[in-house]
Amino acid sequence: MHPLDWVQSELEADAELKSMLSVYQGYPAITQEVVPDGMQMPYLILRSEADVPSNNPLINEILVSIDVYAEGDRVLVRSIGNRIEKLLDMTSPFPHCISCFRAGRYPIEQPDPSIKMENLKFKIRYPREDLID
């Protein structure tokens, strides 16, 4: 399983975060890379910005970017971001993960002032399962 899938499943499983997001096809509005047609805000977009080997050849490091979008509600965007940080910024937040730490959090201005957006970045270290017997 790819680290983006781990992150998505951890976020989808949290009742408090689910209550802050819209619903898309019966699931919390969390997607990877592209927003599907019909998905309503507030939603999350997960992306991998870098996936590189660490100093140890059996461990990779990935930089995961999470975009939080909401219409007209900066407080909601911050609340969602706070919840994501609480869920992910820890030593070992989910199976198959060595560590996951916050690498940054940035408000992003949008061309449409009614849309509020924030970007969170997390550095995840995980084992190279393809090299481990």
Predicted confidence band at 126 (pLDDT cuts at 50, 70, 90)?
confident
Predicted confidence band at 89 (pLDDT cuts at 50, 70, 90)?
confident
Check residue 57 and give its pLDDT: 78
| DSSP-derived secondary structure letter, 58 | T
Full set of structural domains in the chain with CATH: 3-127 (3.30.2000.30)
Q: Please report, as a single letter, which amino acid is at residue 63.
A: L
pLDDT in tens, 91-121: 556 667 888 889 999 989 889 999 999 999 9
pLDDT in tens, 29-80: 999 999 999 999 999 999 999 888 777 778 889 999 999 999 988 999 999 9
Which has the closest alpha carbon to 70: 99, 51, 43? 43
